[in-house]
Amino acid sequence: MNRFVLLAGGAAVYMLAAWMVAPGFYDGFTPQQPYNWVCPPVHISGNLPPSSGHLVIKVINGVSDANSAFTDDGQVVIGFLPGAFDVTGKTSITVDIKPVSPCPKPSGLTFAVNTYLISADAPLVKKANLVMRYSDIVPAPSKVYRATSADGPWASIVALNEAQPFTIDTTTDQFGYFAAGYPSNADSPGGSSSQVLPIVIAALIILVLIAGIPLAMMRRRQAPDEGEADGAEP
Amino acid sequence: MISVLAGRPAVRVAVIAAYVLLVEWARALVSTAPYVATAALILGGVALVVSGAGWPLERLGIGKSRLGFRILGGCALAVVLLMPAAARANAAPILPAFLALPAVVVSIGEEIAFRGALYAALEDLGGAPVAIIGSTALWTAAHALSHPPEFLFAVAAAGLLLALWRWACKDLVGPIIGHVLADLAL
């Protein structure tokens, strides 16, 4: 009996410890750093504003250098190959990444990340590699969208295989407004919704109760027959 | 080598603990590299399963007796592990589908390593209290690189709960099922 009292105590300690940090149980698969939202989902608390990024790329012997621009919070990274820019008349290229506020809400699309304006003072002549990080508490995006204005129209760009979990990658040959999301009428490929969790818990509780009662009754009936044969077990 | 380990429980604990910590820390570090997260998680999970090699299944807490009780116990453990997240479901992370298999492999590997092989080795060394406290401490240390510091108390509490189940019910099937369900749900 003491064993089960200790076990119950362990469960109580876990509940208390897990309640102190949201979401509670966490096994390290999701990002450690929370996503910084321009327009946080309603259930998010303690949101920090997203960062901007700025990069000056050197032009060496008439060729722009290889480099990557990124926001200070690492939510957007855009990488450029050597000679990625048309450097006519330039000694350096300036690239800026800025989160867009207010948040564009195009009809028919659901954005799972902030919208970012990525601009440079020279056009691209080679594709740049764009990586956008997304939050682990919203459904994952399936596409990257680009527009020349925050009001749209938004065109989807083919997303590449993600290099790391919770990032979506693509290439672009133009600057502009970028966001990642999915068509509003489509299911996100990101897995089950967090709304399913309470249902899963309820189903498990019902399963334990429904299957546990006959199991306990069966064990109670078997106990007198078995005597001490099962004594090592609780 | 095996006979030396079998005859010296302290050495056996040290070897298993060093191996398991090395695997867990390496997995945490390698999985941050581009394009290798899934492979690193699966290989790390399999490497943890290897730590149970050489142990009789019953010493690891694995068996078919009382299977219904063990499975239901695993479901009950999953309920306890997930309850704090379920109560705040809107803030619960969503596990991407491609991480489901790695989550299952890692969960099974961690249970066999910590509540299986390490628990059994520590029990041989100093009995159940050493096994419970030692496996919980090593489990917490193993997660130091993959978890933010503020989560480590909850990690330790989860390890303690699973180790107490392992002790109270002499069972590892329940912790495996509970851990797998909890990882898949989040």
| Residues whose CB is less than 8 angstroms from the CB of residue A170 and which lie 6 or more positions away in sequence, other chains included | A129, A130, A144, A157, A158, A159, A160
Instruction: Find the residue in B nearest to A131 (Cα).
Output: B34
Q: Which residues of A touch B93 (CB under 8 A)?
A: 23, 26, 30, 136-137, 194
Closest C-alpha among A49, A32, A112, A126 to residue A82 = A126
Joined together, the tokens standing for residue A61 give: 């012997």
* Residue-level pLDDT at A187: 53
Q: Which residues of A touch B153 (CB under 8 A)?
A: 17, 20-21
Cβ of B94 within 8 Å of Cβ of A139? The answer is yes
d(CA A222, CA B72): 18
Joined together, the tokens standing for residue A157 give: 């760009």
Joined together, the tokens standing for residue A1 give: 């009996």
Q: How many angstroms separate the CA of residue B1 from the nearest CA in chain A? A: 32
Residue A162 has pLDDT above 80, yes or no: no
Closest C-alpha among A137, A116, A144 to residue A38 = A116
Q: Does B29 touch chain A (CB under 8 A)?
A: no
* CB atoms near residue A169 (< 10 Å): 18
For A165, the closest of B96, B147, B185 (CB atoms) is: B96
Of residues A220 and B66, more confidence is placed in B66
Handedness of CA A214, A220, A226, A230 (dihedral sign): positive
> What are the per-10-residue average pLDDT scores of chain B (186 residues)?
70 94 90 76 93 91 89 92 78 68 92 96 93 96 85 92 95 95 83
Q: What is the pLDDT of residues A78-108, one digit of tens each?
A: 999 999 999 888 899 999 999 998 989 888 8
A 41-100: CB under 8 A from B: 41-45
Cβ of A189 within 8 Å of Cβ of B97? The answer is yes
Question: What ipTM goes with this model?
Answer: 0.90
Span A37-42, average pLDDT: 84
Cβ of B72 within 8 Å of Cβ of A6? The answer is no
d(CA B154, CA A68): 37
The total of structural domains in chain B comes to 1
Check if the beta carbon of residue B129 is closer than 8 Å to that of residue B149. Answer: no
| Residues whose CB is less than 8 angstroms from the CB of residue A39 and which lie 6 or more positions away in sequence, other chains included | A101, A102, A103, A114
Average pLDDT over chain A, rounded to whole?
Answer: 82
d(CA A200, CA A195): 9
Span A185-191, average pLDDT: 53
Closest C-alpha among B36, B91, B99, B98 to residue A34 = B91
Cβ of B157 within 8 Å of Cβ of A207? The answer is no
Ramachandran sector of residue A36 (left: φ over 0; alpha: ψ -120 to 50; beta: rest) = beta
Q: How far apart are the first and last CA of chain B?
A: 41
A115-119, A196-200, B110-114: range with lowest mean pLDDT: A196-200
Joined together, the tokens standing for residue B8 give: 């010296």
Q: Does A234 touch chain B (CB under 8 A)?
A: yes
- The angle formed by the CA atoms of residues A63, A65 and A71, to the nearest 5 degrees, is 140
A233 to each of A87, A138, B132, B168, how far by Cα in Å?
77, 44, 18, 9
Joined together, the tokens standing for residue A59 give: 């032009």
Q: How far apart are the first and last CA of chain A?
A: 8
Q: How many angstroms separate the CA of residue A184 from the nearest CA in chain B? A: 18
Q: Cis check for the bond before A153: say yes or no (omega within 30 of 0).
A: yes
Domain interval for residue B155: 2-185
Span A17-25, average pLDDT: 79
Q: Where are the domains of chain A?
A: 1-216
* Residue-level pLDDT at A79: 92
The pair phi, psi for residue A201, each rounded to 5°, is -65, -45
CATH number of A1-216: 2.60.220.30
